[in-house]
Chain A
């Protein structure tokens, strides 16, 4: 019987436009991109020039400090462009697919019977090493480290999140194989976090040598950070790694097939989508074919987000899927003036507080837009963040320690235990519209810089 942890604090935001469980394989544009800004903690150098021929698995970017961490082309074809922004910041490397199935060769075999260094090497060469995220700091894991444990959350409790059981429905073997590989990399355990209803999951249950825990409760119960906090919090000096389920399956596939395979399933969801559903694409795919003819009519322009509405990054309609994202959310922009909006009863206004009449209907789903809903203010209201952060951490005190750059205080207050996604809900419910995630990231970067 797996251990059950009840998460009491948090908030489930039911948004309209949840993806229907139907899978389509659309006609893709043939362009695929790897976006360096996706990868925190890596300083990437581009290895190829536009026009160069590549196959699936050819390295196209490498980290300057750890050159064995590479990012590879997901398809065979040629490099289309290398895009830079202000001050020559690398924004993306775009590859055009030729349709050929060529790829680099990797080892085919059972990871359980290999040396851990061989397993590590395979993951690195497959360009899948950045799948492993380290806590503390939420940066890409360092190959030289041996983590205390590895944590995987098999469900995502964010708004509009995809169902990983559906995404990995046919991938039970590759997921299990991926777990075997990961087990080789840690001196401790591999933890899987499940939720109610996943107990007999075809994909995630009955995998040998893993620690199962059931997490029940509102978002952020599905956040790996919250799960780590309740099982074995990260203390100063400890390192744990986290990875999402679909990336585990990609790692597993390299061992089963003996080559990298970047087939990827994503959910397209949100109130501006006419037919929210799942699509089978490849990593780094361009999203325009998915949106074509699939947007509802509206006065408000759409905001297209690679990832969740809480932590995702904004892309335009010709943008590309992020490396880690299994979801594209499309919601209306909120660039309109609301006459006396703050004073009216607000039966259609979403709020965690009970100050709008909408609190009379707690179970309804919302069509939320991107309006800030107020101006930025200093910290005034108290007790608000604590209601949506199920951790033994004082969030406001931590943020204030970051704002005054008091590193000792940040450490004492638990900065090693959180990353932006854990405090995203605090940012959503904040009365003063504080940039919580940005402040937290600046704190994490400051501590990492000072500690190195």
Chain B
């Protein structure tokens, strides 16, 4: 059997990486590759003798599967928007479109993973620990929230920044305060704003400008709304499908919804955060509708769920368990405030057409505080019970 031969091969080279072996310096790397190929033969020694089959690799794999629709749609959309811009009227589903999108998106993914995993492997080796799988998901999230024309060297330093300052200095996977993928984006947003915002960066080739159709606008619907052109945004069906300009993975609410269902059915993503986020957004949108006064404020409140990066953020970023609220009650408040803040920043703040990234990072800071109040309530219940007995 292929697996047996592979196992024998690994067993033959394994001693070189163990203590005393020639390559023992690289043992974390070897262990990571061995664990990738084979679930280890370690058995339980303390506590419960049986264990659930789930592990972090499996959890991350499910998230990657959930991201897949958004990724494929993103590639197709990249091709479609590009060909629209240069005047070639290709349908959405075309081989040229997919091929173009694939060739544009794949390098960004490769740069993200190579940089991120490279740093993770080196950190694990220095510490002498096992390589943690945390970056498996962040590595896919980072490309999906980038504009398609982002220079690759920027992706590399943003990823390095996110992994080092967003994770490793705190102690690695499970210890970080901020969502690493969002840190990468926010780093680029504030350092190279011209490459991360505006009307040209969202469609491949628009920044260079060669061969673009006269009068073609690459503005995203949020960009139009921020400029006061509420009449120029597409209809709800188009917004839902996502055949609009935007970051690579964020445009199709439909593709993201499929991902959300996968996350909820498998129990990996918190439906509480997703639902309360949607409620918060609708709530804030509703308040703006009541205030009224401009075409943006009067945009029907439910449009906000389909615009910009809200759907992507609330399904894949806000649900990151390490940086979200960790108590079940806390998750309701956490998601709700992300929804409220996203729409508030979007509509009320002229400097930021999109508020999701900042809202999530802000709530990452407040998540422990929310948990603190929930745990305090639990502590008070216990104390009250003790006092009543006396």
Binding site for B on A (CB under 8 A): 13, 159, 233, 235-238, 303, 305, 309-312, 314, 329, 331, 333-343, 346, 349-356, 368-383, 386, 392-394, 396-397, 412-414, 420, 424-425, 427-433, 435-438
Enumerate chain A residues within 8 angstroms of B381, measured Cβ to Cβ: 392
- Digit string of B352-390 for contact with A (CB within 8 Å is 1, else 0)? 000000000000000000010011001101110110010
B270 touches A372 (CB 8 A): no
Residue of B43, B48, B374 most packed against chain A (CB within 10 A): B48
Does residue B69 face the partner (Cβ distance < 8 Å to A)? Answer: no
Does residue B44 face the partner (Cβ distance < 8 Å to A)? Answer: yes
Residue of A303, A333, A341, A428 touching B52 (CB-CB under 8 A): A428
Enumerate chain B residues within 8 angstroms of A371, measured Cβ to Cβ: 39, 41-44, 51
Enumerate chain B residues within 8 angstroms of A238, measured Cβ to Cβ: 389
B6 touches A396 (CB 8 A): no
Enumerate chain A residues within 8 angstroms of B61, measured Cβ to Cβ: 342-343, 355
B173 touches A337 (CB 8 A): no
Instruction: Give the nearest-CB partner of B43 in chain A.
Output: A370
- Per the bound structure, the CA–CA distance linking A354 and B327 in Å amounts to 21
B378 touches A382 (CB 8 A): no
- Per the bound structure, the CA–CA distance linking A338 and B42 in Å amounts to 11
Min C-beta distance of B360 to chain A, whole Å: 16
Does residue B213 face the partner (Cβ distance < 8 Å to A)? Answer: no
- Per the bound structure, the CA–CA distance linking A397 and B373 in Å amounts to 13
Does residue B62 face the partner (Cβ distance < 8 Å to A)? Answer: yes
- Per the bound structure, the CA–CA distance linking A449 and B39 in Å amounts to 40
- Per the bound structure, the CA–CA distance linking A424 and B174 in Å amounts to 22
4 closest A-B pairs by beta carbon, nearest first, are A374-B55, A378-B174, A339-B3, A341-B39
Residue of B50, B174, B175 most packed against chain A (CB within 10 A): B50
Binding site for A on B (CB under 8 A): 3, 6-7, 35, 37-44, 46-59, 61-62, 130, 132-134, 171-175, 265-268, 270, 321-322, 324, 326-328, 331, 371, 374-375, 378-379, 381-383, 385-386, 389
Enumerate chain A residues within 8 angstroms of B51, measured Cβ to Cβ: 371-374, 427-428, 430, 433
Enumerate chain A residues within 8 angstroms of B268, measured Cβ to Cβ: 353, 355
B49 touches A309 (CB 8 A): yes
B46 touches A310 (CB 8 A): no
A331 touches B55 (CB 8 A): no
Min C-beta distance of A268 to chain B, whole Å: 16
A382 touches B42 (CB 8 A): no
B47 touches A424 (CB 8 A): yes
Min C-beta distance of A170 to chain B, whole Å: 32
Enumerate chain B residues within 8 angstroms of A397, measured Cβ to Cβ: 326-327, 371, 375
B39 touches A374 (CB 8 A): yes
Instruction: Give the nearest-CB partner of B49 in chain A.
Output: A309
Min C-beta distance of A364 to chain B, whole Å: 14
A370 touches B38 (CB 8 A): no
Instruction: Give the nearest-CB partner of B383 in chain A.
Output: A412
Min C-beta distance of A287 to chain B, whole Å: 16
Enumerate chain A residues within 8 angstroms of B327, measured Cβ to Cβ: 382, 394, 397
Residue of A237, A346, A379, A392 touching B53 (CB-CB under 8 A): A346
- Given A238-B389, A394-B375, A437-B48, also A354-B42 (CB < 8 A): no
A338 touches B54 (CB 8 A): no
- Per the bound structure, the CA–CA distance linking A58 and B210 in Å amounts to 99
Min C-beta distance of A138 to chain B, whole Å: 14
Enumerate chain B residues within 8 angstroms of A377, measured Cβ to Cβ: 56, 130, 132-133, 173-174
Residue of B35, B41, B265, B389 touching A354 (CB-CB under 8 A): B265
- Per the bound structure, the CA–CA distance linking A372 and B381 in Å amounts to 37
Residue of A335, A346, A372, A380 touching B321 (CB-CB under 8 A): A380
A383 touches B134 (CB 8 A): no
Min C-beta distance of B304 to chain A, whole Å: 27
A394 touches B59 (CB 8 A): no
- Per the bound structure, the CA–CA distance linking A379 and B371 in Å amounts to 16
Residue of B41, B46, B386, B389 touching A334 (CB-CB under 8 A): B41
B46 touches A437 (CB 8 A): yes
Enumerate chain B residues within 8 angstroms of A392, measured Cβ to Cβ: 378, 381
Instruction: Give the nearest-CB partner of A425 in chain B.
Output: B48
A355 touches B41 (CB 8 A): no
- Per the bound structure, the CA–CA distance linking A342 and B43 in Å amounts to 16
Min C-beta distance of B381 to chain A, whole Å: 7
- Per the bound structure, the CA–CA distance linking A429 and B265 in Å amounts to 17
18 pairs, A vs B, C-beta closer than 8 Å: A235-B382, A303-B43, A309-B48, A331-B50, A333-B43, A337-B38, A351-B54, A353-B52, A353-B268, A355-B59, A372-B42, A373-B51, A376-B130, A381-B56, A383-B331, A386-B328, A431-B54, A437-B46
Enumerate chain A residues within 8 angstroms of B49, measured Cβ to Cβ: 303, 305, 309-310, 312, 314, 329, 331, 370
- Per the bound structure, the CA–CA distance linking A402 and B156 in Å amounts to 40
A339 touches B41 (CB 8 A): no
A380 touches B50 (CB 8 A): no
Min C-beta distance of B89 to chain A, whole Å: 41
Enumerate chain A residues within 8 angstroms of B38, measured Cβ to Cβ: 337-341
- Per the bound structure, the CA–CA distance linking A233 and B7 in Å amounts to 52
4 extra interface residue pairs, beta carbon distance < 8 Å, beyond A351-B53, A375-B55: A336-B41, A374-B39, A412-B379, A429-B52
A378 touches B175 (CB 8 A): yes
- Given A380-B173, A394-B327, A433-B55, also A337-B39 (CB < 8 A): yes
Instruction: Give the nearest-CB partner of A393 in chain B.
Output: B378
